[in-house]
């Protein structure tokens, strides 16, 4: 028996792969169409051997003849001996081919992914370039629009500036005209001011005259009240008492005051502009300082000058005018530091018309630096309804922040 001849069975290899050769030994004188039907269908599908249409599969072959074919038996023996090994070799080669294809496919997928990324990058670059070109075009259009708007605005501003310059020239002419008219008016006012000043001086002199007449009238009324008081006192005396002739109001004063209380009593009896509260009489009793004549002059100044400045005259500064006319100082208030001390506030609070009233108006008569000698002060309030100076304290200097510190 001759050795079977080995003939290669070619199969179309995958792309980029080396060809895979499947070999099967065939007996001498046998061709592929005759041998293929002997291969089982599963082996044919595994080996992917293309079977011609003229060759029928083994399971569809005609029934075997009754007498066995010796050549067919030899083929079956050969096939039975070599089928298993050949199949293992073919399966191993096929698995290696499949693995190479898998690796190639994965490499192809990676290359494809890399190509996709590269394409995406290129697309992004192109998109960015398009966007940049669009933005550049938009920016150029915007710059053109801005230039056009600036040119338009500049032209409008130039027109406004020209109009403003024209208006300014007109205003300058109007101002010059008004200045000329103002000079004419000033000349007219100067011509009319001379009579007006004369009238103002006359009005002021008349007011001073009326104030003098009011003081004279007040003095006359006070003298009349004193004479009436003296007459009443004379009439109240028994008829058998002879007081001697009375030639004037001062003849009724039998003794000169020797204390501040006596001065206050006498002063209260002779006039009605200044009124003394019981607290003032009590503080006068406690005073034993010198210079009673100066204190009498201070009371007269309150009667003759302070009362008219407050209730008769207008457009005055009481502190300044009172000092100029009398030489005494007047203050309308105390320092905030003094009034912040409870003892000082309480010393300046007096009972008047059923209420406790804080009196800060005061006249400085004595020497403020001589606390030991009294430094007489007169604290009072202005009663506008009754038109009186109501005195709450007359006598020693009331406590202050500095006085409390020195004591």
Q: Is residue 139 part of a domain?
A: no
pLDDT number for residue 311: 94
CA distance 295 to 166: 76
pLDDT number for residue 21: 43
Q: Is residue 373 part of a domain?
A: yes
Q: Is residue 200 part of a domain?
A: no
Q: How far is residue 116 from each of residues 121, 125, 128, 269, measured CA to CA in Å?
A: 8, 14, 18, 126
Q: DSSP letter string over 200-251?
A: HHHHHHHHHHHHHHHHHHHHHHHHHHHHHHHHHHHHHS-TT-------SGGG
Domain stops at, among 99, 117, 135: 117
Q: DSSP letter string over 1-55?
A: -PPPEEEEEE--PPTTS---EEEEEE-TT--HHHHGGGS-HHHHHHHTPPPPTTS
Return the sign of the alpha-carbon dihedral for residues 13, 14, 18, 20: negative
- Whether residue 357 is predicted with pLDDT greater than 50 in this model: the reply is yes
For the chain, percent of residues with pLDDT exceeding 90: 24
Q: Is residue 401 part of a domain?
A: yes
Q: Is residue 231 part of a domain?
A: no
Count Cβ atoms within 10 A of the Cβ of residue 283 and give its class: 0-12 exposed, 13-18 middle, 19 or more buried. Answer: buried
Domain stops at, among 92, 117, 142: 117
- Whether residue 406 is predicted with pLDDT greater than 80 in this model: the reply is no
CA distance 219 to 296: 17
E strands of 268-403, at which residues?
Answer: 274-276, 329-331, 349-352, 355-358, 361-364, 377-383, 388-395
**Number of structural domains in the chain:** 2
Q: Is residue 227 part of a domain?
A: no
In this structure, are residues 75 and 35 in contact, taking their beta carbons and an 8 Å threshold?
A: yes
The confidence band for 382, taking pLDDT boundaries of 50, 70 and 90, is: very high
Strand order across the 361-364 sheet: 274-276, 388-395, 377-383, 361-364, 329-331
- Residue indicated by tokens 């310059």: 165
0.75 exceeded by the pTM?
no
Under 8 Å CB-to-CB from 360, ≥6 apart: which residues? 331, 332, 333, 334, 339, 348, 379
SS3 (DSSP) at 164: helix
- Whether residue 128 is predicted with pLDDT greater than 60 in this model: the reply is yes
Structure tokens at 347: 């010393």
The backbone torsions φ and ψ at residue 16, rounded to the nearest 5 degrees and listed phi first, read: 60, 20
Domain stops at, among 117, 148, 179: 117
Q: Is residue 263 part of a domain?
A: yes
Structure tokens at 355: 């209420």
pLDDT tens digits, 2-30: 555 545 444 444 444 444 444 444 444 44
pLDDT tens digits, 200-239: 788 778 777 877 776 677 667 666 766 766 666 655 554 4
pLDDT number for residue 16: 47
Please give the helix or strand (H or E) that residue 177 lies within, else none.
Answer: helix 70-236
Domain enclosing residue 56, as ranges = 5-117
pLDDT number for residue 389: 97
Q: Is residue 324 part of a domain?
A: yes
Please give the helix or strand (H or E) that residue 283 lies within, else none.
Answer: helix 278-285
The backbone torsions φ and ψ at residue 351, rounded to the nearest 5 degrees and listed phi first, read: -85, 120
Average pLDDT over residues 33-40: 47
- Residue indicated by tokens 């569809």: 60
For the chain, percent of residues with pLDDT exceeding 70: 67
């Amino acid at each position: 028996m001759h050795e079977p001849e080995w003939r290669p069975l070619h199969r179309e290899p995958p792309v980029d792969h080396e060809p895979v050769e499947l070999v099967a030994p065939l007996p001498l004188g046998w061709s592929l169409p005759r041998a293929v039907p002997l291969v089982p269908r599963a082996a044919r599908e595994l080996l992917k051997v293309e079977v011609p249409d003229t060759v029928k599969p083994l399971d569809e072959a005609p029934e075997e003849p009754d007498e066995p074919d010796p050549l067919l038996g030899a083929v079956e023996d050969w096939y039975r001996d070599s089928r298993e090994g050949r199949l293992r070799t073919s399966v191993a080669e096929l698995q290696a081919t499949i693995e190479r294809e898998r690796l190639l496919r994965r490499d192809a997928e990676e290359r494809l992914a890399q190509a996709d990324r590269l394409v995406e990058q290129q697309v992004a670059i192109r998109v960015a370039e398009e966007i940049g070109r669009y933005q550049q075009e938009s920016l150029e259009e915007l710059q053109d629009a801005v230039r056009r708007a600036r040119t338009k605005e500049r032209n409008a501003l130039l027109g406004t500036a020209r109009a403003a310059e024209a208006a300014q020239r007109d205003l300058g002419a109007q101002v010059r005209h008004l200045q000329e008219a103002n000079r004419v008016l000033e000349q007219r006012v100067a011509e009319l001011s001379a009579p007006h000043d004369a009238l103002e001086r006359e009005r002021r002199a008349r007011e001073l005259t009326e104030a003098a007449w009011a003081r004279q009238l007040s003095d006359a009324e006070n003298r009349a009240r004193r004479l009436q008081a003296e007459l009443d006192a004379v009439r109240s005396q028994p008829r058998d008492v002879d007081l001697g002739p009375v030639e004037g109001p001062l003849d009724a004063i039998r003794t000169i005051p020797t204390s501040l209380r006596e001065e206050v009593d006498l002063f209260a009896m002779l006039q009605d502009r200044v009124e003394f509260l019981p607290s003032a009489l009590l503080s006068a009793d406690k005073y034993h300082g010198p210079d009673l004549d100066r204190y009498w002059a201070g009371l007269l100044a309150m009667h003759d000058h302070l009362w008219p400045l407050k209730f008769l005259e207008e457009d005055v500064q009481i502190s300044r005018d009172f000092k100029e006319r009398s030489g005494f100082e007047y203050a309308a208030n105390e320092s905030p530091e003094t009034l912040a001390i409870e003892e000082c506030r309480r010393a300046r609070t007096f009972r008047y018309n059923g209420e406790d009233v804080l009196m800060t108006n005061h006249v400085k008569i004595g020497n403020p630096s001589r606390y030991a000698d009294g430094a007489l002060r007169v604290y009072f309030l202005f009663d506008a309804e009754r038109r009186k100076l109501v005195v709450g304290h007359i006598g020693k200097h009331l406590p202050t922040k500095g006085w409390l510190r020195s004591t």
